[in-house]
Amino acid sequence: MTDFILPDIGEGVVECELLEWLVSEGDTVEEDQPVAEVMTDKATVQIPAIHSGVITRLYYKPGDIAKVHAPLFELKPANDDSGASQQQTPDVPKADVKAPETQPSDNAGSAVETFILPDIGEGIVECEIVKWHIDAGEFVAEDDVVVEVMTDKAVVEIPAKHAGTLVKHYHEVGQIAKVHEPLFDLAVEQEGAGVGATTASNENAVQASQSAAGNTVPAGFQEGGFEPPKVIEGRVPASPAVRRLAKENNLALQDITPTGKKGRVLKQDVLNALQQGQQGSAQTTSQPESTAASEQASHTVPLTPVQKAMAKQMVRSVSTIPHFTVSDELVMDPLIALKASLKAQFADADIKLTFMPFFIKALSLCLTEFPQFNARLSEDGNAMTYFDDHNIGFAVDSSAGLLVPNIKQVQNLSVLEIAEAMQRIVADAKRGKVSSSDLKGGTISISNVGVLGGTTATPIINYPELAIVALGKIQQLPRFDDQQQVISQSVMQVSWSADHRVIDGATMVRFNNVWLDYLSNPLKMLSKLR
């Protein structure tokens, strides 16, 4: 027998009202078949079965309040070969009602509670363990973060529901955890009420079971055999699994012929639509045979470790940092002239001179005037850490994927030394051998999309940094001079992204103006060089 634990069904929702059972005890259900309809303070939600099997117990009756993370119904899985003697009947005495996911502990004053990974997003069935904040044997307070997980949408922190001692991790960092399956065990201190309190809290569950026993429902229930009590205008009735199947195949539910009662679309309806070639509005009406052949010839290639790391970094950045952008243009003609005058000197040192060392050095000078850009916000958002060293990162398109190494202590380096460090790092990147020290400790970054022909970009901040700038390609564009005469100028688009939690728009603009002034008038940098 398996208790179905009512999952999180909305942010901040801790309970819901049971509106209607769509099945009765003794009914056979299929995987993803709606079992119950509940109502929160935000919406009416259908709860599907996560496995095929037989409903053996309903813990509530319509009108009762069901608690999140407590049993909703009991299911005997279809692959459960246990004998009939082991199957519990609906009229079980109160004392036999079990507490949800709780095991005896070696400590007489505590019990081990298994934390079930709740729903953490619509359509999300699994996630990757990113970081355990609490190790086995450590104490955790109520609502303290226990583990960090990453879905295909965001990085999510999972807190403890109760205070206690963490007993066991069910997964290691990097492993995949399934929704509705155990995540960790927690030894929870028991109050004086003990087991009696648990029994009392489940009294309604027993009453629900006894009440439901008197209801008769035709045997052989199929998905859609019962009608939901409410129909939302313009919404086609279907289970979440059916909706997901239709979405994955670019089918619109409105275009699928339903066979369930009251127009409910069943899984078989979607499969029939696929077989018959029915297509919704999101799908093109016809596909050439060549396109279909091309899709059949496709293949899947796993991400490289670098690509996976970058994916995680970007997800964390966009999900935790409120980005805002500032764009401007840089007149490059003075910098072009300076670079040309220094080219021979750098060649003598066997260094290829690019514009990037000037961008990096000017950025370092600005960080001295605006130290809040060379800082890091604490995880709780309550403090700022300011760094003395300017470790400035720059994006490198390596054979292993996009890397953002950084040059250490730029404030102490000349333009020649910056160019030398860049040349070494780029050479390492081409060989796929960038050292971990070059990849760690960055404080601010530059992305150069112009080297690949890009004109402008909206860069994503390299978490946990606070700002990043993207450089576009140099263009010859008409501009007006001081005498309002049209002239040709070398212009580059620059775009900043900053963390709006600690950097406001006015500060970002002032910072950008100083940086552009150094680059438009590069001789000004000489007075600031050490």
Report pLDDT for 265. Answer: 81
Sign (positive/negative) of CA torsion 163, 166, 167, 172? positive
Backbone angles phi, psi at 357, to 5 degrees: -55, -35
Residues 457-475: pLDDT tens digits? 999 999 999 999 999 999 9
- Surface-to-core class of residue 232, CB atoms within 10 Å of its CB (0-12 exposed, 13-18 middle, 19+ buried): exposed
Q: What does the pLDDT average to over 358-364?
A: 96
> How far apart (Å, rounded) are the C-alpha atoms in residues 499 and 508?
10
Q: Which of 7, 316, 317, 319 is nearest to 131 (CA)?
A: 316
DSSP 238: -
Look up 504 and say whether it is catalytic: yes
| 393 pLDDT above the threshold of 80 | yes
pLDDT at 230: 42
Range 499-515 average pLDDT: 96
Give, for 508, the enclosing helix (H) or strand (E). Answer: helix 505-520
Query: Which phi and psi angles does 143 have, rounded to 5°?
Result: 75, 0
φ, ψ of residue 188 in degrees (nearest 5)? -105, 130
Strands in 102-104's sheet, in edge-to-edge order, are: 102-104, 110-116, 182-189, 164-169, 139-140
Strands 392-394 and 444-448: parallel
Complete domains list, the chain, with CATH = 1-97+202-224 (2.40.50.100), 306-528 (3.30.559.10)
H helices of 175-261, in order, are 194-201, 203-212, 240-248
Find all residues with CB under 8 Å of 149, minimum gap 6, and list them: 117, 120, 127, 128, 129, 130, 155, 156, 158, 177
| Residue 348 and residue 510 in contact, taking contact as beta carbons nearer than 8 Å | no
Spatial distance between the Cα atoms of 206 and 60, rounded to a whole number of angstroms: 8
The pLDDT, as a whole number, for residue 12 is: 55
End-to-end CA distance of the chain: 74
CB atoms < 10 A from the CB of 369, how many? 12
pLDDT at 149: 82
Please report the pLDDT score of residue 306 as a whole number.
67
482 is catalytic: no
149-163, 282-296, 307-321: lowest mean pLDDT where?
Answer: 282-296
- Rg of the chain, C-alpha, whole Å: 31
Catalytic residue, candidates 41, 143, 152, 504 = 504
Matching residue, tokens 């086609």: 236
CB count, 10 Å around CB of 157?
A: 14
pLDDT score of 153: 53
Tell me if 500 sits within 8 A of 507, measured CB to CB.
Answer: no
129-141 in b/e form (b: 16+ CB < 10 A) is bbebbbeeeeebe
Q: Which of 35-39, 127-131, 389-393 has the highest mean pLDDT?
A: 389-393
User: Cis peptide leading into 405, omega within 30 of 0?
Assistant: no
Q: What percent of the chain has pLDDT over 70?
A: 75
Amino acid 421: pLDDT: 95
pLDDT of res. 518? 95
Quick one: pLDDT at residue 86? 39
Is the pLDDT at 205 greater than 70? The verdict is no
More confident residue, 275 or 388: 388
Least confidently predicted of 132-136, 257-261, 413-417: 257-261
DSSP 365-388: HHHHH-GGGSEEE-TTSS-EEE-S
Query: What's the pLDDT band for 9 if we cut at 50, 70, 90?
Result: low
For tokens 């022909």, what's the residue?
A: 453
Is the pLDDT reported for residue 216 higher than 70?
A: no
Q: Given the DSSP bridges, would you call strands 467-480 and 444-448 parallel, antiparallel or unpaired? A: parallel
Check residue 66 and give its pLDDT.
86
| 221-230, 318-327, 332-341: the lowest-pLDDT one | 221-230
The predicted pLDDT at position 78 comes to 78
The single residue of 69, 389, 500, 517 carrying the catalytic annotation is 500
Region 168-193: mean pLDDT is 83
Q: Among all chains, which residue has been given the structure tokens 């979607």?
A: 270
Measured CA to CA, the distance from residue 456 to residue 200 in angstroms comes to 64
Sort strands 486-499 and 467-480 into parallel, antiparallel or unpaired. Answer: antiparallel
Structure tokens at 199: 């029994």
Whether 432 and 401 have beta carbons less than 8 Å apart is answered as no
What's the predicted TM-score (pTM) here?
Answer: 0.47
The average confidence (pLDDT) of the chain is: 79
Contact 394, 446 (CB under 8 A): yes
Q: What is the reported pLDDT for 283?
A: 44
Whether the predicted pLDDT of 107 surpasses 90: no
Whose tokens are 């407590």? That residue is 70
Asked if pLDDT for residue 245 goes beyond 70, the answer is yes
Nearby residues of 374 by Cβ (< 8 Å), 6 or more positions away: 367, 386, 387, 390, 443, 444
Percentage, residues of the chain above pLDDT 90 = 39
Average pLDDT over residues 504-515: 96
Residue, of 470 and 50, whose pLDDT is higher: 470
Sign for the CA dihedral angle at 444, 413, 397, 326 comes to positive
Contact 500, 506 (CB under 8 A): no
Of 124 and 469, more confident: 469
pLDDT at 423: 94
Query: What local confidence, expressed as pLDDT, does residue 413 receive?
Result: 94
| Most confidently predicted of 268-277, 278-287, 389-398 | 389-398
